[in-house]
Amino acid sequence: AVNLLKQSLNSTQKKKKIAVMTSGGDSPGMNAAVRAVVRTGIHYGCDVFAVYEGYEGLLKGGEYLKKMEWEDVRGFLSIGGTLIGTARCLEFRERWGRKQAAANLISEGIDALIVCGGDGSLTGADLFRSEWPSLVEELVKDGKFTTEQVEPFKNLTIVGLVGSIDNDMAGTDSTIGAYSALERICEMVDYIDATAKSHSRAFVVEVMGRHCGWLALMAGIATGADYIFIPERAVPHGQWQEELKEVCQRHRDKGRRNNTVIVAEGALDDKLNPVTANDVKDVLIELGLDTKVTILGHVQRGGTAVAHDRWLATLQGVDSVKAVLEMTPETPSPLIGILENKIIRMPLIESVKLTKSVAAAIESKDFDKAISLRDTEFIELYENFLSTTVKDDGAEILPVAERLNIGIVHVGAPSAALNAATRAATLYCISHGHKPYAILNGFSGLIQTGQIKELDWIDVENWHNKGGSEIGTNRSVAADDMGTIAYYFQKAKLDGLIILGGFEGFKSLKQLRDSREQYPIFNIPMVLIPSTISNNVPGTEYSLGVDTCLNSLVTYTDDIKQSASATRRRVFVVEVQGGHSGFVASFTGLITGAVAVYTPEDKIDLSTIREDLALLKENFSHDKGENRNGKLAIRNEQASSVYTTELLADIISESSKGKFGVRTAIPGHVQQGGVPSSKDRVVASRFAVKCIKFIEQWNSKNISSEDDGDADSKVLRFKYDAHGEKVPTVKHEDESAAVICVNGSKVSFKPIAHLWESETNVELRKGEEVHWEEFTRIGDILSGRLRLRAEV
Ligand code: ATP
């Protein structure tokens, strides 16, 4: 984790001067990165300069290199594009251009550069670093500087941040801007879906991605597309047309009223002929479908960053400054990346090389290599896409004996991706010959009505973008009537169970596991996919629905801040959900630039409030001209029984002495989000398939190989007892009742028994560990709260 608090500039170190720039194509989140670099740098006592207009500004120098103050980046988080400008600069590709850039940096005393851009920008930066000593030597020879003047500038420190909507950098799960672009794509395809369904049309949507199919693949998964074309998986020349027709026709035959095909702009066939949206359209017209093409173009770059990109850019910006302070001349230039939930550093040049080798592999028609160079998540999701759409023609059907009955139940308050996960699980089940059974209206629904419904392809076909719960959810837990539940499980002959829910789901899983002795039917693999906006399931850092919730809060707070600029100075105290867990409040504070965050983990007392009032006053004292946005304080609903949202607002109002107004704002159920975010849809699909595989693996332990003497006719069978009943899959094996968890860079299945014993605070309905603790502190640093506290 980013251990920021331990880092500080020791007094003997010379004051570091760091420059930050954005380069190449703009991407949402670049501003958040610049804000984080500027404020973290200042926090550590560094001077931070912004380089305006990318490498062009570096060459021009002078006013293009601007020393940034704390206030200069106010409001950056909510603005799209890059406020310090970007450019493509041919001169920087030339050595003389880079020499001029070096002279400008030395003139300002700068010897560290944080570059946020794509692989081109980062290649340029690394080249600049490697040439630096010789460039400096030449500048001395040219008489531009004396040897003494360049003495402190022997080395240039470079740190890379990947700002790119394509998500094409090797070694990192996501780049700054990629999820914002994906969100725009999904919004647009959702709009298209409505008209396509009305007219029974097919739509071919072209998305960005010259050498990288990430956007097209993820959009395919998140929008329930019938078919995708990506550069890494070139389609067979002259044959793809038939397969495309087959898949679209099959889905029509199953009852679908529309078709969606996503084409990456760099899509190819295996003879390297481009496959364009119009080529695809022609094929679909041949099939008799009324087909339209939409090319999304620059819409995909547009707009403000989604929550994911705001926190990603913020945490990476913070780590980039930390890297600058830690690096020695021998340290290879690092690139800041992310694996699952963990901010990581990797050697910049190796990642850039690997990235470029994908394009080279495509050019040499080595498509297996091209896809193998993408990260494991990419390959896994590509396989899932095929399994749930293209190969639903029986290609992946398992032998009869291996086919399972899998129950799916939703427990607790709805969160955004319940349907998306259920859809993916169902489609995967169907293509493998399993039977997916929806338990309607949670455990109490089962107890009261016994309704278990086998889900069909057409039932779930359009659930990818539906909020709420189509199969119904309920807060009741399993223990309310274990016997009845066992009866219906037995009746449906369930071989496995997927629970989607939050703490009630977690509790239900524990109860089912504890009842195995009494009701042997529960000796089946059972798994919980944490799905709650509170993110309070013990043992994991990630929960479905959280991303959608944070997006809703980002939009909500952006709107109310904006409204304040139209009226007068105003503070909003925003009350957010989360129960006893301050995760949502802390993250909302981090990504909206809130002045103060109040959570159950950090107790509110009078001295905290006094400090926050001082910070608010200081903040308002800097507001001038158009920079008059509202200020935010975020309060978790359970942060304190005394300092209610209203009371906090009254205290702030009273002490403002009429200098600023105060309002409360309670987004309430808006936080559950209407439509799931693109990220929640993708993760829902990934986790759902992982969980079915988990159930398959446990069941396979129970399959015996029956030998009837003929070596060729060996069949796999489940074991049966003397009465002909199937022997329970697993006998009290704790590992078979588990929660799918994300911890740092790892995804794993953790046994509920262990989690309950050692990681659960049952009373407060959350985990013992506050895994977001450090991010709360980073939020405090970037809002200025920590600095002011130190001074008070
Ligand atoms: P995107 O992913 O949006 O295309 P990018 O950073 O890859 O972003 P490029 O246009 O390739 O975009 O590069 C941006 C700038 O970086 C170039 O205009 C140039 O100034 C510099 N640059 C790129 N490649 C090199 C290189 N090999 N040597 C020196 N400078 C380079």
pLDDT for 640 equals: 93
Q: What is the pLDDT of residues 29-43, one digit of tens each?
A: 999 999 999 999 999
208 is in an annotated binding site: yes
pLDDT above 80: residue 64 = yes
| Residue nearest atom 9 of ligand 1, based on CA coordinates | 120
CA 254 – CA 243 distance, rounded (Å): 17
User: 47-51 and 65-67: which strand pairing?
Assistant: antiparallel
Q: What is the average per-residue pLDDT within 428-450?
A: 95
pLDDT for 718 equals: 52
Both tokens of 20, joined, read 């930050």
pLDDT for 754 equals: 95
| pLDDT bracket for residue 487 (50, 70, 90) | very high
Residue position matching structure tokens 């001169």:
91
CA 353 – CA 614 distance, rounded (Å): 49
pLDDT for 650 equals: 94
CA 154 – CA 572 distance, rounded (Å): 49
| Residue nearest atom 30 of ligand 1, based on CA coordinates | 124
| pLDDT bracket for residue 643 (50, 70, 90) | very high
For ligand 1, say whether the CB of 161 is within 6 Å of any of its atoms.
no
Residues 6+ apart with CB under 8 A from 677: 183, 306, 307, 308, 416, 547, 548, 551
pLDDT for 292 equals: 96
For a mutational test of ligand 1's pocket, the pick from 59, 82, 92, i.e. the residue with the most ligand atoms closer than 8 A to its C-beta, is 92
Q: Which is the catalytic residue, given 26, 72, 166, 319?
A: 166
For ligand 1, say whether the CB of 119 is within 6 Å of any of its atoms.
yes
CA 571 – CA 609 distance, rounded (Å): 14
pLDDT for 478 equals: 78
Residue position matching structure tokens 């009842």:
515
pLDDT above 70: residue 728 = no
pLDDT above 70: residue 731 = no
Q: Is 459 a catalytic residue?
A: no
Q: Which of 133-142, 275-284, 702-711 has the lowest mean pLDDT?
A: 702-711
pLDDT for 5 equals: 44
pLDDT above 70: residue 92 = yes
Per the CB < 8 A criterion, the answer to whether 459 and 425 are in contact is no
CA distances from 326 to 330, 513, 623 (A): 11, 48, 35
Q: What is the average per-residue pLDDT within 36-64?
A: 96
For ligand 1, say whether the CB of 127 is within 6 Å of any of its atoms.
yes
| Residue nearest atom 2 of ligand 1, based on CA coordinates | 118
| Residue nearest atom 11 of ligand 1, based on CA coordinates | 120
- Pick the atom of ligand 1 nearest to 119's CA: 7
Ligand 1 centroid distance, CA of 94 (Å)? 12
300 is in an annotated binding site: yes
pLDDT for 479 equals: 81
For ligand 1, say whether the CB of 24 is within 6 Å of any of its atoms.
yes
For ligand 1, say whether the CB of 667 is within 6 Å of any of its atoms.
no
Ligand 1 centroid distance, CA of 776 (Å)? 35
Chain mean pLDDT for the chain: 90
For ligand 1, say whether the CB of 128 is within 6 Å of any of its atoms.
no
292 is in an annotated binding site: yes
pLDDT for 401 equals: 85
Rounded percentage of the chain residues whose pLDDT exceeds 70: 92
Radius of gyration for the chain, computed over Cα atoms and rounded to the nearest angstrom: 28
User: Of 109, 84, 67, whose CA–CA distance to 33 is shortest?
Assistant: 84
Handedness of CA 666, 668, 672, 673 (dihedral sign): negative
| Residue nearest atom 28 of ligand 1, based on CA coordinates | 124
pLDDT for 1 equals: 37
Phi, psi (deg, nearest 5) at residue 38: -60, -50
| Residue nearest atom 19 of ligand 1, based on CA coordinates | 89
Q: What is the pLDDT of residues 323-345, one digit of tens each?
A: 999 999 899 999 999 998 899 99
Both tokens of 235, joined, read 């389609």
Query: Can you tell me the ipTM of this complex?
Result: 0.97
88 is in an annotated binding site: yes
Q: What is the average per-residue pLDDT within 190-207?
A: 94
Q: What is the average per-residue pLDDT within 78-94?
A: 95
Q: What is the average per-residue pLDDT within 360-375?
A: 88
Start-end of H helices in 593-668? 606-622, 645-656
For ligand 1, say whether the CB of 22 is within 6 Å of any of its atoms.
no
pLDDT above 60: residue 791 = no
| pLDDT bracket for residue 495 (50, 70, 90) | very high
pLDDT for 12 equals: 47
CA 192 – CA 215 distance, rounded (Å): 17
- Pick the atom of ligand 1 nearest to 128's CA: 29
577 is in an annotated binding site: yes
| Residue nearest atom 27 of ligand 1, based on CA coordinates | 124
pLDDT for 69 equals: 95
For a mutational test of ligand 1's pocket, the pick from 21, 23, 90, i.e. the residue with the most ligand atoms closer than 8 A to its C-beta, is 23
Q: Which of 470-474, 639-643, 684-688, 720-724 has the lowest mean pLDDT?
A: 720-724
SS3 571: strand
13 is in an annotated binding site: no
333 is in an annotated binding site: no
User: 737-743 and 746-751: which strand pairing?
Assistant: antiparallel
Q: Which residues of 198-235 are buried (b: 16+ CB within 10 A; e: fewer)?
A: eeebbbbbbbbbebbbbbbbbbbbbbbbbbbbbbbbbb
| pLDDT bracket for residue 715 (50, 70, 90) | very low
Q: What is the pLDDT of residues 649-705, one digit of tens each?
A: 999 999 888 878 899 999 988 888 789 999 999 999 999 999 999 999 988 876 554
For ligand 1, say whether the CB of 118 is within 6 Å of any of its atoms.
yes
Q: What is the pLDDT of residues 377-406, one digit of tens each?
A: 899 999 999 999 999 888 899 998 889 999
Q: What is the average per-residue pLDDT within 488-517?
A: 95
| pLDDT bracket for residue 133 (50, 70, 90) | very high
Rounded percentage of the chain residues whose pLDDT exceeds 90: 75
Residues 6+ apart with CB under 8 A from 280: 204, 229, 244, 261, 263
Find the helix or strand (DSSP H, E) in which 680 lies: helix 678-700
pLDDT above 80: residue 622 = no
pLDDT for 672 equals: 80
CA 46 – CA 113 distance, rounded (Å): 13
| pLDDT bracket for residue 420 (50, 70, 90) | very high
DSSP 155: -
pLDDT for 630 equals: 80
Q: Which of 537-541, 546-550, 707-711 has the lowest mean pLDDT?
A: 707-711
CA 114 – CA 757 distance, rounded (Å): 45
CA 38 – CA 640 distance, rounded (Å): 33
pLDDT above 70: residue 13 = no
| pLDDT bracket for residue 4 (50, 70, 90) | very low
Q: What is the average per-residue pLDDT within 564-576?
A: 82
